[in-house]
Amino acid sequence: MVSKNQKKLIRSLYQKKYRKQHGLFVAEGKKVIKELLEANLRLHSLFTLDSSNFDNIGMPMYNVTEEELKQISFLTTPQVALAVFYTPEVSEIKSEGLVLALDDVRDPGNLGTIIRLCDWFDVKNLVCSMQTVDCYNPKVIQATMGSITRVNISYVDLREFLMHKTLNSRVFGTFMDGNSVYDEKLPKEGIIVMGNEANGISMDIENLIKDKITIPQFGSDQQTESLNVATATAIILSEFKRS
Amino acid sequence: MVSKNQKKLIRSLYQKKYRKQHGLFVAEGKKVIKELLEANLRLHSLFTLDSSNFDNIGMPMYNVTEEELKQISFLTTPQVALAVFYTPEVSEIKSEGLVLALDDVRDPGNLGTIIRLCDWFDVKNLVCSMQTVDCYNPKVIQATMGSITRVNISYVDLREFLMHKTLNSRVFGTFMDGNSVYDEKLPKEGIIVMGNEANGISMDIENLIKDKITIPQFGSDQQTESLNVATATAIILSEFKRS
């Protein structure tokens, strides 16, 4: 069963403020929870319809009814389990390889997809502006499919970060009027900045970007306004890695 | 104002069955509606908080209150307008260039993103298996940002289509064990099959695919299970078009 205090705590974790305050976040679904456990994230509590899903773990596990799970879940169709984890410490940003930087990406699904892409393309460091959606937002956790444990994610003042970067590396950013990413000779090290869903990269960040790149549009019509930030990130990371 | 009958009609259009029966679909938001109007889609009715958004169109337009809009909207946060359009006729599949085929893509957001990608990469024909989510699902319309009017989308028996294709072209499909898409010499014409979110390409379709390709995973860990179908489509279309 779920106590009143547990309910109150879990519901509070849907807000960033309380996630920070408690140092906790929520994950739902057997698969995601198992991946987080395998990555040795410290478990706070686990609520499940069927405890046989989680054998031999010796954890604070509670059996719940479907009704109880529904009360604590943020999903329309709750999965078989919901877990509360301690937020892991962020490692220092390593000055090696490619670093992806996000300038105010707001959609949780987009951030989740981008984290999965970093994991796929072996981009170990993801740097987010303070206005970027929190990576411990339950919708982000749902969309990452566990890869959040394999990417080092920091929230920083992006302008400060780009101005005082210890990396002696080039800073790339995607713009409508940049050079074709297919024609550029792309390095193995560097920082790639991707912008906000509606407004792209902000002016004060644009000023710090020397290498403007773009994904060319094909056909004669060319009415598509822009690519979604997650699909654009997919193509850009693929281009940096393929060469 | 919105009449009882109008409310009933609009609500019914959230189900594929009634969209087919009436030959109508719903679009929300000023921007999407304007794009559909510009593409000369035939308007059935338009409901808006502010008719000054839609000047000089001479259409069946109704002023509604926020309360009324909320009652007919499928969005949590309704936009300023909701429109009902007649479903356009599907043109014949043209046997030229690249054709993208979807084998049971179920998520409306993924289909919407894929339609936008087809538009960006000038892929004029999108062929969907019968089990693929309906492209007139309101969530798909929302995600396409108007590009649905510039891509010819057909729903077919995908097995039949691939067996009896008039195109004398190669059939590509993405699989975990395919050849690296970065190493293949990719043609300007052909059919590219993308699979279902959970199960990939089904067995009976796999048998009809000679060219198996894959997007290589980078790094030593390689625990990421797979890429999301929309981001994988982004990378594959980019590879076919860049060369």
pLDDT digits (tens, 9 = 90+) for B136-162: 999 999 888 788 988 999 999 999 999
In this complex, do B120 and A218 lie within 8 Å of one another by their Cβ atoms? yes
Q: Which of B19, B12, B18, B232 is nearest to B135 (CA)?
A: B19
In this complex, do B224 and A119 lie within 8 Å of one another by their Cβ atoms? yes
Whether B103 contacts B162, CB under 8 Å: no
pLDDT tens-digit profile of A16-63? 999 999 999 999 999 899 989 988 899 999 999 988 888 766 678 899
In this complex, do B234 and A239 lie within 8 Å of one another by their Cβ atoms? no
Q: CA A14, CA A111: separation in Å to the nearest integer?
A: 16
- Region for residue A4 given its phi and psi (left: phi exceeds 0; alpha: psi -120 to 50; beta: otherwise): alpha
**CA of A241, closest CA in chain B: separation in Å?**
8
| Alpha carbon of residue B231 to chain centroid | 14
Whether the per-residue pLDDT at B230 is higher than 90: the answer is yes
At A120, the pLDDT band (50, 70, 90 cuts) reads very high
In this complex, do B231 and A227 lie within 8 Å of one another by their Cβ atoms? no
In this complex, do A235 and B230 lie within 8 Å of one another by their Cβ atoms? no
Q: Taking CB atoms and an 8 Å cutoff, what residues of chain A touch B113?
A: 228, 230-231
Which ipTM did the prediction report? 0.90
pLDDT tens-digit profile of B161-209? 998 876 568 999 999 889 999 999 999 999 999 999 989 999 999 999 9
Whether the per-residue pLDDT at B221 is higher than 60: the answer is yes
Q: Which of A83, A122, A107 is nearest to A196 (CA)?
A: A107
pTM: 0.91
Q: Within a 13 Å sphere around the CA of B122, how many CA atoms are in the beta-carbon half? A: 14
CATH 3.40.1280.10 boundaries in chain A: 98-242
Tell me what pLDDT residue B115 has: 96
- B82-108 burial, b at 16+ Cβ within 10 Å, e below that, comes to bbbbebbeeeebeeebbbbbbbbbebb
Q: Taking CB atoms and an 8 Å cutoff, what residues of chain A touch B234?
A: 227, 231-232, 234-235
Q: Where are the beta strands (DSSP E) in chain A?
A: 24-28, 43-48, 61-63, 81-86, 98-102, 125-129, 152-156, 171-180, 190-194, 211-214
In this complex, do B121 and A223 lie within 8 Å of one another by their Cβ atoms? no
**CA of B141, closest CA in chain A: separation in Å?**
14
User: Long-range contacts: B207-212, Cβ < 8 Å, 24+?
Assistant: B208/B159, B208/B162, B208/B163, B208/B171, B209/B162, B209/B171, B209/B172, B209/B173, B210/B170, B210/B171, B211/B170, B211/B171, B211/B172, B211/B173, B211/B178, B211/B179, B211/B184, B212/B172, B212/B173, B212/B174, B212/B175, B212/B177, B212/B178, B212/B179
pLDDT tens-digit profile of A80-109? 999 999 998 877 777 678 999 999 999 999
Q: Which of A128, A208, A220, A224 is nearest to A176 (CA)?
A: A224
One-letter identity of residue B55: D
Please state the CATH superfamily assignment of the domain spanning residues B4-86 in this structure: Ribosomal protein L30/S12 (3.30.1330.30)
Q: Taking CB atoms and an 8 Å cutoff, what residues of chain B touch A224?
A: 116, 119-120, 145, 147, 150
In this complex, do A117 and B223 lie within 8 Å of one another by their Cβ atoms? no
Residue owning tokens 């699979």: B195
**CA of A204, closest CA in chain B: separation in Å?**
28
Count of beta carbons in the 10 Å neighbourhood of residue B5: 8
User: Which residue numbers of A have CB closer than 8 Å to B's CBs?
Assistant: 109, 113, 116-117, 119-122, 145-147, 150, 182, 215, 217-219, 221, 223-225, 227-228, 230-235, 238-239, 241-242
CATH 3.30.1330.30 boundaries in chain A: 4-86
Tell me what pLDDT residue A38 has: 87
In CATH terms, the fold of domain B98-242 is Alpha/beta knot (3.40.1280)
Phi/psi at A228 (nearest 5 deg)?
Answer: -60, 145
